[in-house]
Amino acid sequence: MKGTFRILFVDEVDSTNEYLKRVPFEDALFVVADRQTKGKGRRGKNWISERGKGLYLSGMFSLPPLPYRSLAGLSFAVATISVIRRYVDKAYLKWPNDVYVNGKKLCGILVEVLRDRLIVGIGVNVSYGRDELSHLDVPATSLLAEGVKVDRRVLAEELAERLVLYKRKLCTGNFCVSEFEKFCPMIGKTVKIIDGKKSPLARVLGIDREGALIVEFDDEEGRRVGRIFSADVSVRIL
């Protein structure tokens, strides 16, 4: 079933997420900008937002009845990868909600929950050259660098349609954790958990019903299971 939505295409904004905080509430309203002057990433980072080189899209929804906030990000990540896989079949999800190809970030997702609305922002590197991404703090790639040309308008419409569908799933209590795991090659692998001071190694066992990463540490303190929440750390696959 196709959901209904409206997409505004604008030339330039500070951030498409911020734009949707300023306008009156409208369920399933999306905005796509050619350029952002203050593109925002997660954990206070910037998001590279040069004119015409990326897809900078945000969508606004009513608040779903979420038992745990992180489940929205996981579901929207599944929506996003299901579109990106049409273009790059080796794309995968890196917990909590990044799309990667061959160890390089292609796409990031920023979910913000406000009093009266949920905003999901998606940044896809579309036509940046590898050299233009080489200064970023994580290795990054673009659809063009992976040999794929896309029309940003078509991609925006495909993403909006999937996001509406996955928002509906969230509202019916279908949190897509097992779907996420299918797209996430981290499961079963050893990862480095980077939380500023320490970077312990752990094996990923899965994702629990709260959206936390379940990991098994095995070090001088012995073998034990821990839960990792996305706000705290970044996880690198070894």
Cα 99 to chain centroid distance, Å, stands at 6
H helices of the chain, in order, are 16-22, 70-84, 130-133, 152-171, 177-182
Window 114 to 133, contacts with ligand BTN (CB under 6 A): 121-123
| 89-102 residues labelled b (16+ CB within 10 A) or e (exposed) | eebbbbbbbbbbbe
Q: Which residue is nearest to ligand BTN (CB)?
A: 108
| 21-36 residues labelled b (16+ CB within 10 A) or e (exposed) | eeeeeeebbbbbbbbb
Name which of 109 and 207 has its Cβ closer to ligand BTN.
109
By CB under 6 A, residue 92 contacts ligand BTN: no
Give the integer Cα–Cα distance in Å for 174 and 160. Answer: 19
Six-digit token string for 13: 């904004």
48, 71, 72, 109: which one binds ligand BTN (CB under 6 A): 109
CB of 121 to ligand BTN, least distance (A): 3
User: Among the candidate windows 12-20, 70-78, 186-194, 208-216, which touches ligand BTN by CB under 6 A?
Assistant: 12-20
By CB under 6 A, residue 64 contacts ligand BTN: no
Count CB-CB contacts under 10 A for residue 5.
19
User: Among the candidate windows 38-46, 67-75, 84-92, 142-150, which touches ligand BTN by CB under 6 A?
Assistant: 38-46
Q: Which of 92, 95, 124 is nearest to 108 (CA)?
A: 124
By CB under 6 A, residue 98 contacts ligand BTN: yes
By CB under 6 A, residue 36 contacts ligand BTN: yes
3-state helix, strand, coil in the chain (%, to 5): 25, 35, 40
By CB under 6 A, residue 56 contacts ligand BTN: yes
DSSP bridge partners of 202: 191
By CB under 6 A, residue 45 contacts ligand BTN: yes
By CB under 6 A, residue 17 contacts ligand BTN: yes
CA of 170: how far to CAs of 65, 75, 86, 118, 237, in Å? 8, 7, 23, 12, 28
User: Among the candidate windows 51-59, 69-77, 86-94, 150-158, which touches ligand BTN by CB under 6 A?
Assistant: 51-59
What is the phi/psi pair of residue 42, to 5°? -75, 165
Total number of residues binding ligand BTN (CB under 6 A)? 20
By CB under 6 A, residue 58 contacts ligand BTN: yes
CB of 26 to ligand BTN, least distance (A): 17
User: Among the candidate windows 52-60, 154-162, 166-174, 213-221, which touches ligand BTN by CB under 6 A?
Assistant: 52-60
**Which residues in this chain contact ligand BTN in the complex, by CB under 6 A?**
15-17, 36, 39-42, 45, 47, 56-58, 98, 108-110, 121-123
